[in-house]
Amino acid sequence: MLQKLRSLASQARSDLALAPLLRACRQLLSERGQASVYALSQQVLSQYADLPPGQRTAFFAALATEFAPDPAEVLAAATRFAASPTAGSLAELTRAVEPPRQELLRRINRAPGGTAALLAMRCHLLDATKANPELAAVDADFLHLLASWFNPGFLRLERVDWQSSAVLLEKIIRHEAVHEITGWDDLRRRLQPDRRCYAFFHPTLGDEPLIFVEVALLDDIPTAIAPLIETPPAQQLPASARTAVFYSISNCQPGLRGVSLGNFLIKKVAEQLGSELPQLRTFCTLSPVPGFSRWLTGPAVRELDPEWREPLARVLEWRQAHGEVKASDLEQMPEPLQQDLSGLCARYLVRHSHGPCADPVARFHLDNGARLERVNFAADLSRKGLRQSVGLMVNYLYDLSNVEKRHQQFVDGEVSHAPGVRRLLRAR
């Protein structure tokens, strides 16, 4: 693998388009004057923007090899630190271990629009890494810096409403990733007084949202998604609402993959809503289970306990008989089979949320300190919901006084779940 990187980097150094870019990177890294750093960072970004997509991988290969730590210097510094572990020798070791490409990225970030350009660059890097996993070290440096630059302490939380700019509202429509917004009327419904939308913004990106969450203010925990996004607005302001439901969280910046923002967003919004509407007693989600269908038909399902094999066989037989599941199929499903299906989903979430086939939404909320509260049958009858989770959705409960405790439980391998879920775990 390393040989492949070196070969790509060698090509980059002789390529007529890439060689000037690499020279500019070396010069930027060695420059000391602030004005020169500013000009060179702009030059690097301009030359990178002109690269054909096929040459980006070679550029990243050069970052992986030419701008990596010097092994001899690292070894020498480590030896000196081991012999004399002083603050000075530790600082020397730290300098030797840090890849020079990290400082290069810091300097590139000083250019106007540098942060946005680096986010776009990381998107290219993530694509290149799929076919070249040895570029993971470069991506680790991007992730390390972005996690620092996008620390929640630097972000601002804003409510998005119908008075927000049309440009921002268009971005909300475009980036909604869970429940499609079909147009302006649909968006208007989601921004009525009994609904909320909050987004995180970063000072260097202006009005470009990083991530946003949609909230419904209700009397009780919901069991289906359609009433949340299709019902007319409540006649009164939500002064009587007792429950805040987080029903959609969408990331807007693919270049921030791996930077945890959603957990801080939910907690921040819960705090703000609790301050604005002190009568709220319950904070929960209505969440999809996008990994459920794949698990049902995948090899991991074979790990089920023997008593679950018959319920599984009944569900798979029903699915095979119906082909592509439709809403009407769920409406006609016998109640015992409904229980089988819901029980299998509960089993999947409680027993498999730490493994390789874990549901990503479940893992996010459980690791964030939520409790698996309820499995809802026929809760999402959209084509996407039927395909991914056979129409099931679940509620995760956020008890703000217990989120740290439940987060630790999840870290320790335990999935916190309600008594109703526990009853579903018993096969029939």
List active site positions: 287, 365
Q: Tokens in use for 368? A: 């964030």
Helix (H, G, I), strand (E, B) or coil at 278: coil
Q: Which of 408, 400, 401, 371 is nearest to 270 (CA)?
A: 400
Given the structure tokens 């020498």, which residue do they identify?
76
CB atoms within 10 A of CB 339: 16
> Which amino acid is present at 7?
S
The H-assigned helical ranges of 100-204 are 100-108, 114-131, 136-149, 166-175, 184-190
Q: CA-CA distance, 403 to 271, in Å (whole number)? A: 13
Are the CB atoms for 379 and 224 separated by under 8 Å? yes
**Residues 6 or more apart whose Cβ sits within 8 Å of residue 141:** 99, 101, 102, 105
Q: Tokens in use for 399? A: 């008890």
For 380-394, letters b (16+ CB in 10 Å) and e give bbeeebbebbbbbbb
Please, how many CA atoms are within 13 Å of residue 304, restricted to the half-sphere of its CB?
A: 25
DSSP 417: B
Please give the distance of CA 132 from its chain centroid, rounded to a whole number.
22
Are the CB atoms for 285 and 215 separated by under 8 Å? no
